[in-house]
Amino acid sequence: MATGRQAATGVRGALGRFGEDMAVRYLGDQGYAVLDRNWQCGREGELDIVARTPDGACVVAVEVKTRRSLAYGSPLEAITWAKAARLRRLAAAWCRAHGPGTGDVRIDVIGVIVDGSAPPQILHVEGVTG
């Protein structure tokens, strides 16, 4: 049974990597400093992106969801209560692993819509697990 990186191969994996690359570029353009990508935490899972806000006051764990269209809803709709709880646990684990002084922590979601020849659309929602 394929897990983690093994499962992220083929067309779906390439789409996901493309979305993460777009999200990293977007965050950089907004002044965020990317601290980690695809940070693994044992059985708990993975944080797609960890970044620091432009003012440096907050660490942001970013979940990236990429879709080819809105036919099955917004990519942001893929964040369930269970997924949000997992993201909170992962963000806390990242902070523990990186020691004191991380500051405030926030969970964001970036949805990337890649629909044909149009430029990708980026949807950024801050503080989704408040």
**Residue 51 resides in a domain:** yes
Residue-level pLDDT at 2:
46
Q: CA 52, CA 15: separation in Å to the nearest integer?
A: 25
Residue 118 falls inside a structural domain: no
- pLDDT tens digits along 24-80: 999 999 999 999 999 999 888 999 999 999 999 999 999 999 888 877 778 788 888
pLDDT at 11 over 50: yes
Give dist(CA 39, CA 20) in Å, integer: 13
- Name the domain count of the chain: 1
Per-residue pLDDT, 1: 38
The answer to the question of residue 29 being in a domain is yes
Q: Is residue 54 part of a domain?
A: yes
Indicate which CATH number applies to the domain containing 66: 3.40.1350.10
Question: Looking at the predicted structure, is the pLDDT value of residue 6 above 60?
Answer: no
Domain range for 14: 4-109
The more confidently predicted of residues 108 and 116 is 108
Mean pLDDT, the chain, integer:
86
Residue 8 DSSP class: S
